[in-house]
Amino acid sequence: MIGIAWRSICNRWPTALLAVLAIAMSVALILTVEKVRRDARSSFTQTVSGTDLIVGARSGAIQLLLYSVFRIGNATNNISWESVEDIKNRPAVDWLIPISLGDSHAGFRVVGTSKDYFTHFRYGDKQPLKIAKGAIFDDVFDAVIGSQVAAQLGYEVNTPIVVAHGTGSVALVEHDRQPFRVSGILAPTGTPVDQAVHVSLEGIEAMHVDWRNGAEVKGEGTDSDTIRRMDLKPAAVTALLVGLKSRAAVFREQRAINTYREEPLLAVLPGVALQQLWNLVGVAEKALLIVSICVVFAGLVNLMSVLLAGLNERRREMAVLRSAGARPGHVFLLLCIESTVLTLGGIIAGLALHYVLVALGSLFMQNQYGITIGLAPPDLTDLKILLAIAIAGLLAGTLPALQAYRKSLADGLTQRL
């Protein structure tokens, strides 16, 4: 029966191919949506590890998490350096990483920070940052770039960098009077760190020496050596990553910072903020899943319609099989085998299309959002989805099979006018 079913499919290959393509696109869509959802969550979760509190100007927990860790969006205000020192000197604080944002280079965010960033920042399973080439910045105008910045722009150690004012992809105003130099290139992390240009806090102040109120003062052009001799202590930073000596003190320290009297500040726990983010995007995830299920259902309906539409053309074929000794049950089984073969063909083609989409889409997701989407064999969830689609494909063939089962031998041999 399998051989007969295969030859029958080959004789009707155009319509069979359309049914396979419909199922393949359905399988590729639902698997890709599920893959992106899982890997995006994993990538976001592994971006920062070992940080007890994120501190910024009072706004929202999700907004603070997005701009301080994922470099998405902008801060509503800055934190004064006096407040930074007050928080750093608290007895429960073990280490503190200041972060200053607001500039960019070729569309990549420039992150002003201290050397503590390379000492205490962790990602994934508490993995430290590693220098692949060069060294951490020592000079005011040194910069350490992420692996994606180096790969996309073709930069090496000692390559000059001109930082632009603002975070847009188009540089309208550049700090070309104080160019930086690449002192080091970080090893890949699969996080937004790969897409950042890291400079010292003093470097952020240095390139704004000749600026007043967010605009460059014409006629002023302080040379680099003079700038190096200046007091480049920052007046403010954008956010802080804080590590505590004991995690038991995290809620006490969070409350102390949130009720800080000198200026309105917000301290959030990264895990809690991430959970709020998942709750926010959960509706979109469910909507995408519903759309994917609807597409799968449409593919199975298309399979059923192909089999039903072909029944009238195959009346004589069924009659010949019946006259050759095939029982009604054999005809029923034949149609079920055909639907199963078409479904399995669609699943295999859908898997191949899924891996093509993931391979191409991973580059876009990594370059645009710093989210790592890796190629991997189907996991248990994927296998359950594929099994459900295979069973649904078999069930989709039962209605045409029942129609063929009920056709009599005389019906196939009767000439219709």
Render pLDDT for 148-166 as a digit per residue (tens, 0 to 9): 899 989 999 999 998 887 6
d(CA 298, CA 288): 15
| Model-wide pTM > 0.75 | no
Render pLDDT for 6-59 as a digit per residue (tens, 0 to 9): 666 676 777 778 888 888 888 888 888 888 888 877 777 778 888 999 999 998
pLDDT beyond 60 at 98: yes
Share of the chain above pLDDT 70, in %: 80
d(CA 143, CA 137): 6
pLDDT beyond 90 at 370: no
- Helical pair 380-396 and 328-369, crossing angle rounded to 10 deg: 140
d(CA 387, CA 385): 5
Residue pair 304/400 in contact (Cβ under 8 Å)? The answer is yes
Render pLDDT for 268-303 as a digit per residue (tens, 0 to 9): 999 888 888 888 877 877 887 888 888 888 888 877
Mean pLDDT over residues 213-240, rounded? 77
d(CA 334, CA 340): 10
Mean pLDDT over residues 376-401, rounded? 83
> In terms of DSSP bridges, do strands 127-128 and 131-134 run parallel, antiparallel, or are they unpaired?
unpaired
d(CA 224, CA 216): 16
- 3-state DSSP helix/strand/coil % of the chain, to nearest 5: 55, 15, 30
